[in-house]
Each structure stands twice: as structure tokens, then as C-alpha cells.
Structure 1
Amino acid sequence: MRAVLRQRGLGKHECGMGELRLSPARVRASRIVRVLVAGVLALPVLGSPAAAAPEECKPDKGTLKLPASEPWAQKRLDIKTAWRLTRGAGVRVAIADSGADYHPQVQLTKIVDETHTGYRDCVGHGTAVSGIIGARFLSGVPFHGVAPDAVIMMFKQSNKSEGDISHLIGAINDAVAAKADVINVSVRAADTPALKAAVQRALAQDIVVVAAAGNIEGPDDEDVPAYPAAYEGVLAVGAATPDGRRADSSNASTPVSVLGPGTDITAPWPGRAYKLGLQGTSFATPYVAGTAALVRARFPRLTQEQVRRRITATADGTSGAGTGTGMVNPVLALTAVLPYESVNAPVVAEPPPAALPADAIAKIPPKDETAITVSAVVGVGAVLSIMVAGALVSLIPLGRRRGWRAGRPT
């Protein structure tokens, strides 16, 4: 039966591989097959979404304890150094995913449920992606997002590990209507005219579209590009290992733009928890989407094409199929001077030096009035002494010549 699902483009999601896969859903028969596999009558699904039978919402359990050390992805990208220039304030990032549960580090400003199944994240995927992009910094917590001050909006397009491509299309269209600046699509779907049109509409509205290049889960995946990542104008993201090379599971058939950290990833998880050991292009993508948010905040005059070009031009170079221009580099993306940018693009200068501490320069001591008075008296006395001495030098010889007699009056 799994072969039938793959042939129809349904597939599945595994937290370890980090990928949501959607069917084209061109005919109702595909929905019937999917529902029968799940052992549920097909009628409720084909009717009104609100009439669908409730499903269990049991994402995998996470952990409440994080390692003391900072995750390698954060250290590798040197995100805190990028924060010296911007933390993404004011940039609207839309996420088309499986929803998002409450988490103390993740603050959502908008949730749109395309599935009519409720806002909860029954997979964990959307909560993780949201956290990688915009999790707030908390003192004592080693994990944080790339752009913690960005405005995060969730567009729920699936309630489980598989979904309907029409919901993804609706999520992208609604993100455009919400005036998103960046759209994160950590989803692998089939190529359809409606999906392509939705992506082109987003690009035409000057939105940076960042999408996962997809994962290789079997021989059938190796030569199949992932959409919407394979569309022209989309920032396609592959998964990288800590040493910067492409992860073996990252799909090289998709025209990759850059790589993002995609193995042994830590991220927020439903239940106010965290998930360790995540891997896949789904979790590499939000690192690049977060970088796009930083660039848009730092350079608000750049177009989506210029943002995409800046991110690819400043990535850490690598070679080989499916690597693009290498690992994304947020710090260089915010500081590099690109000679081919137009005159309207800002020239990036080094950040201004930090203010000197108050005790860095010694203060001028207050005037010592007593010392000044004494010095003045001594100076005047010295001058008078010199004058008296000069007078005596002239008068004494004269007095001797006259025998010390008074001179005649004139």
C-alpha cells in the first residue's frame, strides 16, 4: 500500500527526516484512497471540512531538558553576532505548515487554519519550524531563533504528516493577502499549475519565498525535484552537516540555492518542550528564512530578488550537486558590500564602535585655588625681589662715589 501512496504523491512525514509531503489531490479518488488507508469512512472527508470526524492529536513527545551547550547550528551561523545589526524587527514571516502549539519562546501574531481542524500542531513540525525562525531569547536557555523580533504568522495547511495540496496553495495565497515579507514552505509537493501560480503571485508581490529542497527517503525520491522549491525565483534550501557538506538525505535533484543546518537539530516542540536530533531540509529551510528576515530588516529597500541574491552570494562556498553556493552566512549577508547592487541599495559599513565606558578617559581635576594664590604671591614676590636687586645694583656704586651724601635738588 505504501507504493500506491507514493505513486499518488501522498507519502508520509517522519520527524527524523523532517518533511511534510502533499498530494496533488487533482481528483476526489485520491482523497478516498487516503482515507480508506486510515480506516475511516470517506464520506465525511468529501463533505464539509467542519463535518469531518475529530482525529487524535498526539505529536511525539519532546523533552523539557536541553543540553547546557548551545546547539551547533546557532554557533555555526554566529547568529548573536548578526543581532548586533538587527534581530528582524517588523519583518512579517509567514509559515505554511502543520500549525503551532503554545511555547514560551514562540510568539505568534496570526494563525490561519486552512484545514478547519483547529490550530493545534498534531505533528510538531510547524512548532519546530516557527521556533527556528523566531524563538525569543531567554536567559539561561541555550536555544533561540534566528530572527527573534520578527512577526511570525502561521498558516496551517495540514493536520497530520500528509496533506492536501489545495490547502498549501490556500496558505500561500493567504500569506500574500496578509502582506508577508517572507514565506517559509518546509513542504515537498508535486508540481501543479495552481501551486506555481500561487508562488508566482507571491514573488510578484515582492515576497521572498523560501522552500525545502526535499529529502531522499527511497530510490523513488532521488531523481524527483521538490516543489515549490524547484520553481524559478524560489530560494531552495538543502540540508547540511556540521562540517558544511550536504547531508546524504538532502535531495540533489532540486536546484538548491543554499544549504542550512539540517542534521542533529534542536527546536521547540508541542507541550512546551523541545525536540532533539531533528534532521532534514524542512528544518534547514527556516534557518534561511530567518536569515531572509534579518536581511529585509537591515535593508528594507532591497527587492525579494536582491535579498535572494545577497543570501546566495554571501554563503560559505562549497562544491558538489545539491549544495548551491554553500552554507548560509547571516553575518556576511548583513555586512557584505556587493559591487553589483544598484546605487539605490544601501552600502554596508562597519557598525559604529561601542561607546567608551565612563572611566576610560581620566577626568580633569578641579582647580586648586590655594595653590594658584600661593603661586601668584610667590611670583609677584620674585618679580619685586628682582626689581629691588636691580635698583640696588645701580644705586650702591653711585652712593659710594658721593660719600653717601644726598644729591643736590634739581
Structure 2
Amino acid sequence: MIGRALMASLLALHLVAVPAAAAPEDCKPKKGTLKLPASEPWAQKRLDIKNAWRLTRGSGVTVAVVDSGADYHPQVQISKIIDETHTGYRDCVGHGTAVSGIIGARHMSGVPFHGVAPDAGIVMVKQSNKTEGDINKLVSAIDDAVAAKADVINVSVRASDHSALRAAVQRAIDKDIVVVAAAGNVTGPDDEDVPAYPAAYEGVLAVGAATPDGRRADSSNAATPVGVLGPGTDITAPWPGRGYMRGLEGTSFAAPYVAGTAALVRARFPGLNQEQVRRRIIATADGTAGAGTGTGMVNPVLAVTAVLPYEGANAPVVAEPPPVALPAEAIAKVPPRDETAVGVSMAVGAGVLIAIMVAAGLALLVPLGRRRGWRAGRAT
């Protein structure tokens, strides 16, 4: 579901050619900011994403984002845009730019924000130009993602159950694609007990929103069968206008943290099928925290390192990360040979040896001299 707060982004997407189309006249996403605090956003620190990068950054994996388009942003490189709306690539909501950035924004020196899987390829499938969309375009967008040979599909959209939507999701799963979807936000009493689709379909990894302390956010829909939680409050992400939006909230922004983790797992263990990837992410989460939390907060580091007993003979080999090189100053150089000290030591050693020999001789001769009364021996 498209969250209540959306993000303002700053950057340059590198796009493939798309058919010329004019954006709607009311294409005016909220303005973001060009300035970010010096410290990393809490979600990045909580998930310890950079530690997972020691093993994989998602290279070779394609993530399709079914959303509202994507604007240019220096950190977010979109490899392809498919436009079901025929209104051009522009993101008039900000939602698609934000979700894409959470999944795959590149790490840039001096910029505290980065995505989960910065080396993954991002395909944007634009299914709506507004906060609301059409079920038929959503279905077509999922089919487009399948045709684009995505390995992971992120659907941060909430819809009602529909046979065509269910069939499209099943086609994606049958093609061995990991489908990650937002569990939906509770906006009033009318939707508290109503599950969100496609998140509620069998085989979909449904994602709820978590607060920094790991509990379910009040706005996160507990009626949807949640698999895991992702950070979903006070979120920072790229935004149209080459900036960022801060303070975003909702399962829409929690889902891409899990989709990015799925990209890391698929890159790390290419032999796992979509069900094994989904089960691995669920099994390595931080632990349930009550209704609507699944198995708890997603844990990218454990997802790419854990050895799971139930995977048996098909378990991937988990190698130790390469050792970190020691700094040059960590090992002291051997000091040069001190010839003076060596000479003194040898002289002292020789003196001690001579003294021992003299003492031994005296110990032998003195008793003998006493027995002879200190008389000289007879000549022979």
C-alpha cells in the first residue's frame, strides 16, 4: 500500500530509452530535502546492511519494482522502465523513487543513505500515476515484471482479492520469482480486519512495518499473514527533485528492505529456488514480537550467512568472509642486530664460564692440598 508519507529524492537515474509520453499536468510530488543528517538512518544501522556486503551486494540479480515510476537521482540507477500508464517515466507521487532507492541506491561517499542491494539491477514497472491505481494495470505490471525476467518483484501496493491478480502472482511464483508485498496500512476501522493483496496470497512474502525497537508499527495491518517485518517508521529515502524525503511511514517502505534482502540472498545462493529464499528470510529474522509481526525484523546478515539444518544436503555452502587485511603498523619490524650488546654478552658469558672452571678446579685441588699438608708432590 502506498504509505501516508512519501519521500523526496535527490538524484540521477540512468534510464534506458522509453517511449515518449507527456506527464500529467498535475505531476507535482511533495518537495523533499537536499540535506541529510550526518548519521546513518536508523534502519540501515539496525539491519547492519554494510556487514552483509562483505559477502554480497546483490550483483547479477534483477529486482522489478511495481510502483509509480522513478525520477532521476544520482544514487538510483534504473536499468529499465516499463510504463503501463503511458504517461512517461516521471514519478508524480514519489513512492516509486523511494522504494527503488531503499532497494538499490548506490553507496556514495559523504552521503549517509544507501540501499540494501546496491549492485542489483532495478526494473521499474509503472502501474499508476497517482496514489490509487487500476487493478488491471497492476496485473499487467506484474506480468511485465515476469517478462523482464525479474528474480524478485516488490509490490508496495494494497489491493482487494481478485482472480486476475491471484493468477498473475501465481505466474510469477511459477517462474521462480520471489514476490515481496506490503502487508498494508490501517487507515481506519474499516480496514483493520481486512487483509491486503497480493500480500495475503499463498507463496508471497508479506511484510509488516516495524518501529526502531522492533515492535509492529500501529499502522501496520495485522490481518495480513505477515512473514517478516521491515523498518517502516521514520524512514529516509530518495525522492523526486534529486533529494530525499524523511519521516516516511508505512508497510510500503518496509517491503523494499525485505526485497533488497531477497536480492542479497539470491546473489549469495543462486541455487536456491524462490520458496527456499523466502523460507531462509523468514527463518533468520530476529524473532516474533506479537500479532502481525511474523518471525520478526528481517536480518540481512543472518539471511546470507546462516546454516539452516532443515536445508539438508541441498544447503548452500557458507564460506567464511575473507579476512580483513592487517594495517602495516600492526606488525613491528625486526630491530637491527646490536653488535655491541652481542660482544658484551659473549664476554660476560666467557667470564662466567672461566669463573665456573676455576671454582671447579679449586674445589678439586684444595682438599688434595690439605691432605698433603700443602707439601709439594715428589718428582718422578
- Give the TM bin, normalised by the shorter chain: 0.7 to 0.9
Q: How far off is 1:53 after superposition?
A: 9.8
| RMSD, aligned α-carbons | 2.9
Relative distance call for 1:52 and 1:121 in structure 2 (3 A) is: closer
Q: Note the alpha carbon deviations across 1:374-409, whole angstroms, 9 max, x for none.
A: 9xxxxxxxxxxxxxxxxxxxxxxxxxx9xxxxxxxx
Which of 86, 92, 108 lines up with 1:138 in the alignment?
A: 108
Decide whether the 8 Å contact of 2:225 with 2:292 is kept in 1: yes
Match of 2:273 in 1: 303
Q: Distance in 1 between matches of 2:239 and 2:21?
A: 29
Match of 1:387 in 2: none
Q: Distance in 2 between matches of 1:183 and 1:13?
A: 16
Q: How far off is 1:353 after superposition?
A: 1.6
Decide whether the 8 Å contact of 1:15 with 1:125 is kept in 2: no
1:339 matched to 2:309? The reply is yes
1:193 matched to 2:170? The reply is no
Q: TM-score, normalised by structure 2?
A: 0.82
Amino acid at match of 2:303: A
Q: How far off is 1:100 after superposition?
A: 0.3
Q: Distance in 2 between matches of 1:141 and 1:352?
A: 26
Which of 103, 113, 129 lines up with 2:83 in the alignment?
A: 113
1:149 matched to 2:119? The reply is yes
Q: Distance in 2 between matches of 1:228 and 1:280?
A: 16
Decide whether the 8 Å contact of 2:23 with 2:88 is kept in 1: no
Amino acid at match of 1:188: R
Decide whether the 8 Å contact of 2:22 with 2:88 is kept in 1: no
Give the gaps of 5 or more residues in structure 2: 8-19, 344-378
| Identical columns (%) | 82
Q: Distance in 2 between matches of 1:218 and 1:151?
A: 37
Compare 281-290 and 353-362 and name the one that shifted more. Answer: 353-362
1:15 matched to 2:4? The reply is yes
1:317 matched to 2:306? The reply is no
Amino acid at match of 1:118: G
Q: How far off is 1:349 after superposition?
A: 3.5
Amino acid at match of 2:223: S
Compare 154-163 and 355-364 and name the one that shifted more. Answer: 355-364
Give the gaps of 5 or more residues in structure 1: 1-11, 19-49, 375-400, 402-410
Q: Distance in 1 between matches of 2:22 and 2:165?
A: 25
Q: Distance in 2 between matches of 1:251 and 1:69?
A: 30
Amino acid at match of 1:302: L
Q: How far off is 1:77 after superposition?
A: 0.5
Decide whether the 8 Å contact of 2:6 with 2:245 is kept in 1: no
Q: Distance in 1 between matches of 2:149 and 2:101?
A: 21
Q: Note the alpha carbon deviations across 1:54-97, whole angstroms, 9 max, x for none.
A: 44200111111111221110110011111111111111000000
Compare 151-160 and 339-348 and name the one that shifted more. Answer: 339-348
- The size of the alignment, in residue pairs, is 341
Matches within 5 A, 1:42-191: 54-191=24-161
Decide whether the 8 Å contact of 1:17 with 1:280 is kept in 2: no
Q: TM-score, normalised by structure 1?
A: 0.77
- Higher RCO structure, 1 or 2 (CA under 8 Å, sep 6+): 2
Q: Note the alpha carbon deviations across 1:316-369, whole angstroms, 9 max, x for none.
A: 10232110000000111111110011323313233132234455455678999x
Amino acid at match of 2:71: D
**Bigger radius of gyration:** 1
Matches within 5 A, 1:341-360: 341-358=311-328, 360=330
Decide whether the 8 Å contact of 1:111 with 1:154 is kept in 2: yes
